[in-house]
């Protein structure tokens, strides 16, 4: 029998009687390292400080002061990466409403147990989860260290050794190929899996690789059949909606998301997306309904987002309900006091209110306040900043619009390319501003290259690499920057040891340079240096 005495457990349940009962059951299963949380808020605070091997979470967290249920908590934990791949998360519920069970299940808890249950049932479920985790732990550790290529090889080897989990290892291997942007490899693996045995997750994975390669129509065909055969595979609806959006048909995307919400109505991010798509499609009433649900469901989350209030205000103003929009602004100030993004969101919302009323001067003042607040705010989405830049452009605030878009480009976490950013100005009829911003980005990238050179000369190899990665984000097609990044990473690898994520960036940049300039005189030298570094540290080729 396995020794469970070293396993740490977090029990999340507002009911003291149930907490006591679970503690007794866990003790009988030789687990004594048990901590408790009475609400989602306290659970998040505890998980921010330490990790646990097992989480047992009650679905119905009751009327505690933070108001979340177990499904919303799991959504937050996954999205904000507060639990790792190796964390066993078991949902406990007596909930009979099927839609809620679907919502919880699609967030992939390790398992869920319906009450009432016995100590034997709990022990068996935990034991089964531990056995699976033990089989995957070597791969999870490689992923945790950023060694995705070795993790791919480990999955391939494990598929034949651990036949019981062979399909799961194949699935993880395909997902790792996607993470490495090796989309053809992932596509081939999913196709091979499907040739052996049809599986919903493999069809979904195949559709994702097709979509990522820009083959939207093919992905749409796969997803349409997948949903017809598996109407409760919720992620299929989300991706199909993205396909319709990419094809410029927001009305069809809205219909797909409405179908998904009808089946699984408690996923906040899907409701948010439905609101955004409905607004794009011109269905203001549907957008209002969705954003109201998002604000209400997220009200007690530790990760409340004031941008949800901005979206609701936008829908209300398009509806012509300025009075209710004003009420939402007051609620945002009251319920989200202390959030660093509130000042930006409030100023943007008030500016929209003034614009609706025809008070241009007041709107311009508020937009100026929003731009000033952006400088010190964190966590704002690129979409919000781009929307602010567009509002500045429409009110002839050219300097402010450029400043906001540069803030988007200076954010390394942003997924907006320089071309996408500059297209905002081109579409607004201001190609001159796009050209100006392009020149500024080049100047900033060059300044960062110079700064990185100084850091390297002073022996700060890690600082030099990080500075150059910022420059690469600003100027991704700049050959000079790419070469500087490759050289700096190779120097760090050679002197400070192997770093899997950086090595992957180096390899990718060498391949990119080879595509842009196959006759570059330094390509062979750099390739040899990279291969030598791998041999030095015994890294598999």
- Beta bridge mates, 113: 92
**Assigned CATH for 444-536:** 1.25.40.10
Residue 65, class by beta-carbon neighbours within 10 Å (0-12 exposed, 13-18 middle, 19+ buried)? exposed
Below-50 pLDDT ranges, the chain: 65, 98
Q: For 136-188, how does the pLDDT look when each residue is reduced to its tens digit (9 = 90+)?
A: 999 999 999 999 999 999 999 999 999 999 999 999 999 999 999 999 999 99
Q: Regarding the domain with residue range 147-248, which homologous superfamily does it belong to in the CATH classification?
A: Tetratricopeptide repeat domain (1.25.40.10)
- Locate CATH 1.25.40.10 in the chain: 147-248, 444-536
Residue 107's pLDDT is 63
34 phi and psi angles, rounded to 5 deg? -120, 130
37 phi and psi angles, rounded to 5 deg? -135, 135
Let me know how long the chain is: 541
CATH number 3.40.50.2300 given to 8-143 = yes
Cα(40)–Cα(268) distance, integer angstroms = 16
Cα(436)–Cα(425) distance, integer angstroms = 10
Residue 479's pLDDT is 93
Q: For 311-347, how does the pLDDT look when each residue is reduced to its tens digit (9 = 90+)?
A: 999 999 999 999 999 999 999 999 888 777 999 999 9
Cα(381)–Cα(383) distance, integer angstroms = 5
Tokens linked to 4: 């469970």
- Name the H helices within 51-112: 70-79, 98-106
Q: Are 507 and 530 in contact (CB under 8 A)?
A: yes
Instruction: Print burial letters for 314-324: b (CB count within 10 Å at least 16), e (below 16).
Output: bbbbbeebeee
The residues near 500 (Cβ < 8 Å, ≥ 6 apart) are 145, 146, 147, 148, 149, 150
Residue 65's pLDDT is 46
Q: Are 213 and 183 in contact (CB under 8 A)?
A: yes
- Beta bridge mates, 58: 92
- Which pTM was predicted? 0.87
67 phi and psi angles, rounded to 5 deg? 70, 0
- Locate CATH 3.40.50.2300 in the chain: 8-143
Residue recorded with tokens 């850091």: 455
DSSP state at residue 116:
S
């Amino acid at each position: 029998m396995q020794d469970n005495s070293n396993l740490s457990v977090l029990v999340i349940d507002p009911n003291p009687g149930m907490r006591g009962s679970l503690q007794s059951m866990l003790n009988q299963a030789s687990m004594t390292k048990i901590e408790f949380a009475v609400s989602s808020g306290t659970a998040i605070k505890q998980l921010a400080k330490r990790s646990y091997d097992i989480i047992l979470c009650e679905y119905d967290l009751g009327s505690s002061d933070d108001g979340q249920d177990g499904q919303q908590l799991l959504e937050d934990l996954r999205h904000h990466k507060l639990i790792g791949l190796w964390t066993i998360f078991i949902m406990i519920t007596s909930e009979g409403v099927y839609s809620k069970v679907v919502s919880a299940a699609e967030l992939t808890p390790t398992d869920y147990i319906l009450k009432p249950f016995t100590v034997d049932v709990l022990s068996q479920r935990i034991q089964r989860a531990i056995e699976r985790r033990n089989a995957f732990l070597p791969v999870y550790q490689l992923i945790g260290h950023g060694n995705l290529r070795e993790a791919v090889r480990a999955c391939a080897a494990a598929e034949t050794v651990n036949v019981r989990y062979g399909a799961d290892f194949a699935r993880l291997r395909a997902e790792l190929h996607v993470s490495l942007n090796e989309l053809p490899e992932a596509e081939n693996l999913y196709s091979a899996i499907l040739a052996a045995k049809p599986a919903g997750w493999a069809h979904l994975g195949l559709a994702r690789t097709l979509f990522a390669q820009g083959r939207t129509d093919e992905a749409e065909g796969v997803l349409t059949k997948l949903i017809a055969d598996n109407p409760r595979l919720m992620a299929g609806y989300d991706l199909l909606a993205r396909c319709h959006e990419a094809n410029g048909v927001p009305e069809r995307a809205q219909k797909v998301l409405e179908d998904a919400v009808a089946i699984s109505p408690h996923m906040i991010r899907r409701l948010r997306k439905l609101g955004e798509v409905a607004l794009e499609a011109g269905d203001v009433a549907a957008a209002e309904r969705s954003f109201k649900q998002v604000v209400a469901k997220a009200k007690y989350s530790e990760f409340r987002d004031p941008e949800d209030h901005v979206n609701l205000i936008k829908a209300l103003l398009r509806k012509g309900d300025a009075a209710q929009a004003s009420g939402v602004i007051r609620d945002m100030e009251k319920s989200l006091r202390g959030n660093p993004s509130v000042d930006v969101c409030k100023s943007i919302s008030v500016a929209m209110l003034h614009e609706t009323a025809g008070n241009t001067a007041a709107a311009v003042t508020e937009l100026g306040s929003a731009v000033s607040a952006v400088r010190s705010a964190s966590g704002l989405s690129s979409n919000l900043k781009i929307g602010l830049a567009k509002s500045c452009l429409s009110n002839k605030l050219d300097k402010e619009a450029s400043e906001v878009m540069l803030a988007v480009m200076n954010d390394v976490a942003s997924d907006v390319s320089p071309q996408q950013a500059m297209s905002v100005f081109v579409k607004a009829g201001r190609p001159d501003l796009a050209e100006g911003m392009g020149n500024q980005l080049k100047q900033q990238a060059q300044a960062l290259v110079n700064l990185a050179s100084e850091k390297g000369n002073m022996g700060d190899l890690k600082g030099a690499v990080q500075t150059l990665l910022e420059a690469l984000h600003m100027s991704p097609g700049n050959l000079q920057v790419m070469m500087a990044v490759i050289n700096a990473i190779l120097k760090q690898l050679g002197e400070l040891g192997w770093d899997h994520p950086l090595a992957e960036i180096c390899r990718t940049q060498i391949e990119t340079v080879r595509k842009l300039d196959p006759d570059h005189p330094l390509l062979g030298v750099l390739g040899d240096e990279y291969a030598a570094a791998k041999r030095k540290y015994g890294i598999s080729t």
